[in-house]
Amino acid sequence: MIFKVYYQEDKVRNPKREDTKSLYIDAATEVEARAQVAANTDHNIEFIEPLEGKFLEYEQENPDYKLTEFNK
């Protein structure tokens, strides 16, 4: 399943909506997606949203859509 992960790049500063970024990751569960991002980045994860059906199709139309893959 594809998940959209909303995050702040820095865990030290207070989160601001204007600084929220997102990435897309393929994982079996939301817990696995969170674990992959936490293990491979210093991001402050705000929210993880599962994408499927029309929601996924809509996101894939965005030119910035790219699945993030971490080296294991």
CATH of domain 2-61: 3.10.20
Cα 6 from Cα 19, distance rounded (Å): 10
Q: Decide if pLDDT at 72 tops 70.
A: no
Query: pLDDT tens digits for 6-26?
Result: 999 987 877 788 889 999 999
Spell out a b/e string for 60-70, using b for 16 or more CB atoms within 10 Å of the CB, else e. Answer: eeeeeeeeeee
Query: pLDDT tens digits for 30-67?
Result: 999 999 999 999 999 999 999 999 999 999 999 989 99
pTM, two decimal places? 0.89
